[in-house]
Amino acid sequence: MPRLSWKRFLGGCCGGANAGVEPPKVPKRRVAAVNSPSTTKISYSDISSATPPLSPKDLSLSLVGSHLHAFTLQELKAITRGFSMSNFVGQGGFGPVYKGMIGENLRPGLAAQTVAVKQLNLHGAQGHKEWLAEVIYLGQLRSQNLVKLIGYCYENEHRLLVYEYMAMGSLENHLFNNVLAPLPWLARLKIAVGAAKGLAFLHEADNPVIYRDFKASNVLLDQNYEAKLSDFGLAKDAPQGDDTHVSTRIMGTNGYVAPEYVMTGHLTTKSDTYSFGVVLLELLTGRRSISSSRPSREKDLVEWAKPYSRDPQRLHRMMDPILEGQYSSTGAQKAVTIAYQCLSQSPKRRPDMRSVIESLEPLCGLRDIPPGLFVYTADDGAREKSRTEKGEYTIEVEEERELHVHRHKTRLSHHNAAVSRVKNVGREWEK
């Protein structure tokens, strides 16, 4: 039986059934507030500066047709079991996040589903403006690479947001949390392409948007490793017409912010491109953009990786050791090159995100991955019929992930055994 191409598995990365075919030029997407032709996109800049601030009723009327649900606080308490700690899933700059379950009868037209409920911390760094930015942008922007906002709660001092639930959590946790199974090479490529598509969607809208806070913790993953951008609290309307940039106070996360933005306060879509380059390096190296616990020369990822990126013979020294060499050397070298193009000190020399996508997607098809993966094929049997109607397929990515999980568990077992032996020696010494 012939060996089958694994491209079909990575639909989000390599184009699914059209894998290997050069993607057509995608026209800029039209972004509208609602599906009705009689309405236009709401400007966050206009609403955020309104005096006095919009009332809950005014906000609801402004978002008519956006399909957002205006939940009551009581409803959100019910679906999160009173914001129970057993439903707590994480904490961000905005506030705590809880898992919730919407029942079939909560309200008409709302399907039963698992959701994530983000609650504004009234004493945190973010406030009403950041909450409003999320409602305005995600209430109007729809893309498979943006997390879906289902609704919000605007009741007295309470500000909450209700999203689709992302089962695999954030990219940050998968890269830097030693408890989770490591990300295999093909999954990393798929995530990079998906995140790039999310940024391109924002930049190519009729009313372009600058994300301004692109980082690993804001990239969420579903069960198929599809990447979606979340947390639009710092997003800004991009310059239009003759304007070349937006002047704004400097906000973002240290290690991801473009240098020209830090120095001048001038914000452009190329500021997002720089941040993407940093995250792409994190995907390749498994290191954080800023690592205070590392030696001084290794603290700054962008500077530390630069010498290795220029020498193909030394490239392996910067790659994530947890990959154990199971990656395409050609693909890795090209990905590093793309990363440093995005990290150019000159914004004009950075590629736009559409060009980044076109450069990254072909890397999914490179096959110079060292042997070691168990790859097998399947015929058109009844059990696999639905998966083989379009021809051959492979589960190489799934097998690659299982292999990494097994190795991770083995290392963890050896580590725990070593810790146990050390403790036993200590007890014997005390005796």
* Active site amino acids: 213
CA distances 328 to 235, 257, 395, 424, Å, are 35, 29, 17, 43
The alpha carbon of residue 224 and the mean position of all alpha carbons in its chain are separated, in whole angstroms, by 13
User: In sequence order, which residues have a C-beta less than 8 Å from that of residue 321 and are 6 or more positions away?
Assistant: 286
Closest CA to 217 of 97, 38, 312, 310: 97
Cβ atoms of residues 236 and 242 within 8 Å: no
**Structure tokens that stand for 194 in this block:** 């998906």
Fill in the amino acid letter for 351: P
The helix/strand/coil state of 60 is helix
Closest CA to 146 of 134, 132, 130: 134
CB atoms within 10 A of CB 389: 9
The helix/strand/coil state of 164 is strand
Cβ atoms of residues 404 and 181 within 8 Å: yes
Cβ atoms of residues 393 and 183 within 8 Å: no
Q: DSSP labels for 362-419?
A: GGGG---PPS--------S-GGGHHHHTTS----HHHHHHHHHHHHHHHHHHHHHHHH
